[in-house]
Amino acid sequence: MTDAHLNLIDGNWLPGDHLTENRNPSDLSDLIGHYASATAEDVDRAARAAHAALPAWQARGPLARAELLDRIARRIDDEAESIGHMLAREEGKILPEAIAEVRRAAQIFRFYGGEALRIAGDAIASVRPGVDIEVTREPVGVVGLITPWNFPAAIPAWKVAPALAFGNAVLLKPADIVPGTAHLLARIIHEQGCPAGIFNLLMGPGSVVGRALVDHPLVSAISFTGSVATGRMIARSAAEGMKKLQLEMGGKNPMVVLDDADLEIAVPACLNGAFFSTGQRCTASSRLIVQAGIHDAFVTRLAEAMQALRVGPALDPSSQIGPVVSSAQLRGNLDYVALAAAEGCEVVGGGMAEGPTDGFFQRPALFLKARNTMRVAREEIFGPCAAVVRVGDFDEALAVANDSDYGLSAGICTGSLRHARAFRHGIRAGMVMVNLPTAGVDFHVPFGGTKGSSHGPREQGRHAVEFYTTVKTSYSFGG
């Protein structure tokens, strides 16, 4: 097949053993292209090539890495519109969000270009006379990066950029249903002069490619973003192989709205946090915890704003919410809508939406009168659905917000400095937002959670150095 998009292994574009169709979730008649599925043997070839290429890559030093990352950033920026178009077409995010995500990927590469030049160590006084101690950071080696479908540009960028910046070699396995954006990024990384073997793209199913990558003895570290179930499975295999591990998984992120909140802030923050990007964000505000005094006014305004959102094709400039990513995800979302009613919620919105094309369109949904014990308030849905839980006061709001297996992002809308401060200190989450949506983070600061949401060192910002390097302590005497 001439239009096939191939895997990048040891600097060569190679076919794998079969091709997978990439289709547009806004319009199933739109075939985006055919993408090669790698085999376990391809993973082995890439891992060996990566391992062999490491010494020369590390010997080139930080300036070569900084300059490479800067060139990649510039090229991503130059191509942001066309990559964003691919992202919107294959994932279903509306075009402005997709282009913004691609620009963020460029910013991440630029940021880590700078970090390549700022790898620091320590000189520490020894307790023994005449002995010097130096603590330095070294690359981990060959790293396996496994990414989900919901941020096909930003998540690969925030794993690949620090991995390269700190001198590692990369095997990237993107989600099988959105290979197009990763393929464009891989072409840019290759064309900008990344040495053969240092960056490898391995497309294909997680059950084959992901598994082979996690099990490969030459892979020293695995960074994964996706579901809790897959994360658990990977953790078990990685532990068997004694690999360094970083897992970013789900969220059931609470957004508290107190009686003293400004509705002009709270309603747009919840609308954005719960429904933008079709709710397909691990930081989505999927539990709205609302104090009794403001509850009815808040719910009326939010429901009105939610029902006015225009659901439609990702590339249609009038759309505000694109389609759900796949038929399986849509079915799952609709099952949760039915479950919400069965559990006793009053459901506003939530059915399938009519679209001009054959796509996976869903109307956003609010589950009113939810209790925090219900499944719809405890399980990550990953769609445009939010449960609303009514509470009496701040203490109850904080207790409900903390009553979750997850702890990724949490928000509060309040005019009270005292409550904002108590929330920031009392909430068990990796990220806290005051009068801001739970979703939407900066590219240069740590990202990650507590409890079931994350495992291992933080991603992004300067903290990424913890995962992508290992520490060496050197003692010397004499001279």
Part in contact with ligand NDP (CB under 6 A); list of ranges 5-13, 124-132, 160-168, 205-213: 205-213
Supply angle C-alpha 142, 143, 147, rounded to 5.
150
Least CB distance from residue 14 to ligand NDP, whole Å?
18
Taking the complex as a whole, the smallest distance from the CB of residue 379 to ligand NDP amounts, in Å, to 9
* Residue list 364-423, contact with ligand NDP (CB under 6 A): 380, 382
- Span interacting with ligand NDP, options 142-150, 265-273, 364-372, 468-476, rule CB under 6 A: 142-150
Site for ligand NDP in 246-305 (CB under 6 A): 249-250, 282
How far is CA 140 from each of CA 93, 111, 122, 130, 475, rounded to the nearest angstrom? 34, 20, 18, 31, 21
Q: How far is the CB of 285 from ligand NDP (least distance, A)?
A: 14
Which of 20, 181, 200, 225: binder of ligand NDP (CB under 6 A)? 225
As a whole number of angstroms, the distance between CA 311 and CA 54 comes to 47
By CB under 6 A, is residue 91 in contact with ligand NDP?
Answer: no
Considering only residues 37, 230, 277, 404, which one is a binding residue for ligand NDP as defined by CB under 6 A?
Answer: 230
Tokens describing residue 303: 């429901």
Stretch touching ligand NDP by CB under 6 A, among 110-118, 220-228, 365-373, 443-451: 220-228
323 is a contact residue toward ligand NDP (CB under 6 A): no
**Interaction between residue 149 and ligand NDP (CB under 6 A):** yes
**SS3 category, 408:** coil
Token output for 430: 């990796």
How would you label 436-465 residue by residue, b for 16+ Cβ within 10 Å and e otherwise? bbbbebebeebbbbebbbbbbbbbbbbebb
Q: Is residue 214 involved in binding ligand NDP (CB under 6 A)? A: yes
Nearby residues of 172 by Cβ (< 8 Å), 6 or more positions away: 145, 147, 156, 159, 160, 182, 186, 199, 200, 201, 202
Least separation in angstroms between CB 414 and ligand NDP: 27
Q: Count Cβ atoms below 10 Å from residue 82 Cβ, excluding itself.
A: 12
Q: Do residues 235 and 245 make contact, with C-beta atoms less than 8 angstroms apart? A: yes
β-pair type (385-391, 199-201)? unpaired
Given the rule CB under 6 A, which of 12-20, 60-68, 80-88, 169-177 is the region that contacts ligand NDP?
169-177
Span of 83-91, 148-156, 302-310, 463-471 interacting with ligand NDP by CB under 6 A = 148-156
- Nearest-approach distance from CB 212 to ligand NDP, in angstroms: 9
Distance, CA of 411 to CA of 440 (rounded, Å): 12
Reduced to 3 states (helix: H, G, I; strand: E, B; else coil), residue 66 is helix
Sign of CA dihedral 298, 384, 81, 143: positive
Distance CA 390, CA 376 (A): 15
The residue (of 227 and 320) whose beta carbon lies closer to ligand NDP is 227
Q: Which is nearer to ligand NDP, 141 or 251 (CB)?
A: 251
Which of these ranges, 120-128, 221-229, 338-346, 363-371, lies near ligand NDP under the rule CB under 6 A? 221-229
Q: Is the dihedral of CA 258, 259, 265, 266 positive or negative?
A: positive
In terms of CB distance, is 167 or 226 closer to ligand NDP? 226
For residue 143, state whether it binds ligand NDP (rule: CB under 6 A).
no
Please report how close the Cβ of residue 187 comes to ligand NDP at its closest, in angstroms: 19
Name the residue nearer to ligand NDP (CB basis): 237 or 320.
237
Q: Considering beta carbons, is residue 73 or 324 the nearer one to ligand NDP? A: 324
E-strand stretches of 292-405: 346-349, 365-370, 385-391
Q: Tell me, what DSSP letter sits at residue 352?
A: B
Closest approach, Cβ 62 to ligand NDP, in A, equals 30
Quickly count helices (H) and strands (E) in the chain: 15, 23
Query: Which residue type occupies 184?
Result: L
Q: Could you give the CA distance from residue 412 to residue 249 in angstroms, rounded to a whole number?
A: 22
Place of tokens 């949506």: 437
Q: Please report whether residue 234 would count as binding ligand NDP according to CB under 6 A.
A: yes
Q: Which stretch binds ligand NDP (CB under 6 A): 5-13, 133-141, 206-214, 313-321?
A: 206-214
Residues that contact ligand NDP, how many (by CB under 6 A):
26
| 68 makes contact with ligand NDP (CB under 6 A) | no
When asked if residue 227 is in the footprint of ligand NDP (CB under 6 A), the reply is yes
- The one catalytic residue in 79, 248, 380, 459 is 248
Contact between 180 and ligand NDP (CB under 6 A)? no
By CB under 6 A, name the one of 14, 28, 32, 233 that touches ligand NDP.
Answer: 233
Which of the following is catalytic: 270, 282, 345, 385?
282
Residue 247 CB, nearest approach to ligand NDP (Å): 10
Q: What sections of 166-262 are H helices per DSSP?
A: 179-191, 211-215, 228-240
Whether 248 is catalytic is: yes
**Are the C-beta atoms of 455 and 222 separated by less than 8 Å?**
no
**Considering the rule CB under 6 A, would residue 429 count as an interface residue with ligand NDP?**
no
What is the DSSP-derived secondary structure letter of residue 464? Answer: G
Give the residue numbers annotated as catalytic, written as ranges.
248, 282
Give the footprint of ligand NDP on this chain (CB under 6 A).
Answer: 146-150, 173, 175-176, 205-207, 210-211, 214, 225-227, 230, 233-234, 249-250, 282, 329, 380, 382
